[in-house]
């Protein structure tokens, strides 16, 4: 239960880190509350997958990963960049939702954006974004037992996920057409921000190796 | 004064104008001087010039019936005076415009209204003000700015951006440099960008408990204060805000004749747009008189008029109540209006009520800054230094 309570105590921080991604995405899609819950489920499943991957890694290499923060910074930086590209593709290249970037219509039609954007975003955010996640990793890695590590991360995931429940209610605003444009624009800005954060993390990671 | 609702709004008679200006003059003398006359001759001259300037502008607003023309003169003077006064003050107390880490840790950073959207969520969730400013006292305290903002928002909504914001006069002024715009076709969807920036800064400020807009995006740091460049991150931040200042506050307003920073970027403006819904004044179009010449759509500096809104007889939510459409309407079909009353109704009365309260707020809010700006210029003339 330690993982669950750690998740509960850090859920607000977790949700604060994920809302800049989730809210613009949900506004941009302009779907109703029920469909937003489906998107949230996809996001959370992706996040769970990310957590379990790290649970496995935490068990595999125990605490040694914490000794090599330089290389970890590099890895997180790369993930940030992939994540930012995902957000920017979503913001600028989907044409079935209104967007200011109409001039790139032709390119957009050629690019088939995966339908599982929330899952992929969840996976990447599960691995890279959340500072409380580092706490969980330390807690899980300290035991050095695979089943404990997986269970610890699963419970941590459950504890934090409770805080995500209200987010899909932004779907109540879907009738306001302008919010779709605003959501997509905001996704683009968040993407740019993470691109910068990723580049900086990669540079610092390379220095640390 | 009797008003004919079917006539274009004209200025008031000389008698009415003098009476109203007298009331404004008494109020401004009391408020600007705060009941005591300065001993220093330079301060006395600066105070007298500020009072004279404010009341001359008010007289012209009322007598000529032109709103935007004279508002813009005062508003831009306010912005220029802020730059002069603020930079001089920074040099006086810090020796430079740059902000050291020590000053940040000592919470000595002046607070401005643009930070307000970022502070609300963290205050509600963590009871923390995520800005290294002084709660009370100091050059510009957090509490005083909040009180001013709440009052002005309830009274004018987004009118704050044309009658209160001490930065707005910069891009407003630059947007008047050319007679005709060089860039004419602007995608109207750009008016949604400030809302996206607002969403981004509010969410990231809540996530990182840091005023992201101030650190990364605020172009007005170029003319107020900024972090001393001591790292690559600060260097990148500096490049971003200087570029935004040159682009959004100087170049694009000149080329488009629009207030590009206020209309297409400012998150505070986006938040104020929402508050337009909860105050008494708005700008309405008398559909019976409207010729559909679309002059108002053409001149609006914030793209707050389009064919759809014209059809509905109202402006869009982003209207700053600057009065430019009112000045430019050939039939006088556009005017200030009090919600819940008839259109056109007593439009001159509505105009007077709006102008008196909005200008009084602008005059009082700007008084010390304009006065200090004038005094710094007088100092420069007489001593060769503004400090």
Cβ distance of B207 and A16 shorter than 8 Å: yes
Number of domains in chain B: 1
- Identify the domain containing residue B269 by its residue range: 97-279
> What is d(CA A93, CA A82) in angstroms, rounded to the nearest whole number?
15
- Nearest by CB to residue A189, choosing from B196, B206, B236, is B196
Tell me how far CA of residue B7 lies from CA of B3, B4, B335, B344, in angstroms.
8, 6, 12, 10
Q: How many CA atoms lie within 13 A of B126 on its CB side?
A: 16
Contacts of B189 in chain A (CB under 8 A): 98-100, 181
Size of interface A-B (CB pairs under 8 A): 59
Q: Is the pLDDT of residue A111 over 70?
A: no
Does residue B199 fall inside a structural domain?
A: yes
Question: Is ipTM > 0.85 here?
Answer: no
Does residue B243 fall inside a structural domain?
A: yes
Q: Within its chain, how far is the Cα of B114 from the centroid?
A: 11
Going through chain B in order, the beta strands assigned E by DSSP cover 98-99, 226-227, 281-285, 334-338
Contacts of B125 in chain A (CB under 8 A): 12
Q: At what angle do helices A33-61 and A117-128 cross, to 10 degrees?
A: 40
Does residue B237 fall inside a structural domain?
A: yes
Per-residue pLDDT of chain B (387 residues; tens, 9 = 90+): 444 444 455 789 999 999 999 999 999 999 999 888 888 899 999 999 999 999 999 999 999 999 999 999 999 999 999 999 999 998 988 888 888 777 777 777 888 999 999 999 888 888 888 888 888 877 778 899 999 999 999 999 999 999 999 999 999 999 999 999 999 989 999 999 999 999 999 988 888 888 989 988 999 999 998 988 888 888 988 999 999 999 999 999 999 999 999 999 999 999 999 999 888 999 999 999 999 999 999 999 999 999 999 999 999 999 999 999 999 999 999 999 999 888 877 888 999 999 999 999 999 999 999 999 999 999 999 998 888
Does residue B47 fall inside a structural domain?
A: no
> What is d(CA B244, CA B227) in angstroms, rounded to the nearest whole number?
16
- Nearest by CB to residue A19, choosing from B192, B196, B207, is B207
Does residue B49 fall inside a structural domain?
A: no
- Identify the domain containing residue A21 by its residue range: 2-208
Query: Best mutation site among A189, A197, A200, A204 for testing chain B: the one with the most B CBs within 10 Å?
Result: A189
Number of domains in chain A: 1
pTM score, whole prediction: 0.85
The pLDDT of residue A28 is 81
Cβ distance of A183 and B199 shorter than 8 Å: yes
Chain B closest-CA separation from residue A2 CA (Å):
24
Cβ distance of A24 and B125 shorter than 8 Å: no
User: Could you say which DSSP state residue B177 is in?
Assistant: S
Contacts of A25 in chain B (CB under 8 A): none
Chain B closest-CA separation from residue A21 CA (Å):
9
Cβ distance of A186 and B199 shorter than 8 Å: yes
Does residue B266 fall inside a structural domain?
A: yes
């Amino acid at each position: 239960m330690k993982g669950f309570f750690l998740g509960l105590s850090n859920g607000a921080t977790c949700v604060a880190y994920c809302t800049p991604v989730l809210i613009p995405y949900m506004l941009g899609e302009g779907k109703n509350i029920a469909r937003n819950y489906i998107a949230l489920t996809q996001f959370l499943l992706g996040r769970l997958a990310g957590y379990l991957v790290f649970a496995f890694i935490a068990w595999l290499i125990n605490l040694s990963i914490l000794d090599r923060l330089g290389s970890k910074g590099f890895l997180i930086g790369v993930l940030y960049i992939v994540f930012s590209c995902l957000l920017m593709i979503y913001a600028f290249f989907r044409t079935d939702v209104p967007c200011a970037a109409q001039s790139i219509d032709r390119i957009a039609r050629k690019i088939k954006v995966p339908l599982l954007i929330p899952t992929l975003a969840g996976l990447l955010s599960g691995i890279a974004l959340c500072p409380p996640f580092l706490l969980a990793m330390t807690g899980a890695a300290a035991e050095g037992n695979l089943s404990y590590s997986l269970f610890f991360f699963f419970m941590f995931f459950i504890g934090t996920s409770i805080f995500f429940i209200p987010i899909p209610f932004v779907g109540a605003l879907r009738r306001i057409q302008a919010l779709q444009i605003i959501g997509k624009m905001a996704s683009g800005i968040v993407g740019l921000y993470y691109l910068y954060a990723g580049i900086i993390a990669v540079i610092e990671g390379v220095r640390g190796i | 004064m009797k008003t004919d609702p079917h006539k274009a709004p004209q200025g008031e008679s000389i008698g009415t104008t003098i009476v109203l200006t007298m009331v404004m003059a008494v109020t401004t003398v009391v408020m600007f001087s705060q009941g005591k006359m300065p001993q220093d001759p330079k301060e006395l001259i600066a105070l007298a010039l500020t009072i004279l300037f404010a009341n001359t502008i008010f007289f012209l607003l009322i007598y000529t019936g032109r709103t935007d023309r004279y508002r813009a003169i005062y508003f831009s003077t306010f912005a220029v005076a802020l730059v002069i006064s603020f930079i001089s003050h920074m040099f006086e107390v810090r020796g430079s415009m740059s902000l050291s880490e020590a000053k940040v840790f000592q919470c000595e950073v002046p607070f401005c209204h643009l930070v307000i959207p970022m502070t609300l969520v963290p205050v509600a969730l963590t009871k923390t003000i995520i800005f290294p400013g002084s709660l009370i006292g100091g050059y510009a305290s957090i509490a005083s700015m909040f009180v001013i903002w709440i009052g002005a928002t309830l009274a004018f909504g987004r009118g704050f951006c044309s009658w209160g914001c001490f930065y707005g006069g910069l891009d407003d002024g630059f947007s008047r440099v050319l007679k005709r715009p060089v860039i004419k076709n602007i995608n109207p969807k750009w008016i949604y960008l400030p809302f996206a920036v607002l969403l981004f800064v509010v969410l990231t400020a809540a996530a990182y408990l840091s005023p992201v807009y101030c650190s990364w995006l605020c172009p007005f740091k170029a003319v107020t204060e900024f972090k001393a460049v001591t790292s690559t991150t600060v260097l990148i931040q500096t490049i971003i805000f200087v570029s935004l200042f040159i682009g959004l506050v100087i170049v694009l307003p000149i080329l488009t004749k629009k207030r590009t920073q206020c209309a297409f970027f400012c998150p505070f403006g986006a938040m104020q747009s929402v508050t337009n819904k909860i105050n008494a004044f708005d700008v309405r179009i008398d559909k019976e008189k409207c010729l559909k010449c679309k002059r108002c759509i053409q001149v609006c500096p914030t793209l707050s008029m389009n064919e759809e809104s014209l059809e509905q007889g109202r402006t869009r939510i982003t209207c700053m109540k600057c009065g430019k459409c009112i000045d430019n309407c050939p039939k006088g079909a556009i005017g200030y209006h009090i919600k819940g009353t008839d259109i056109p109704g007593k439009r001159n009365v509505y105009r007077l009520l709006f102008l008196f309260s909005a200008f009084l707020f602008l005059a009082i809010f700007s008084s010390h800054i304009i006065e200090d700006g004038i005094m710094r210029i007088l100092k420069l003339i007489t001593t060769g230094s503004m400090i």
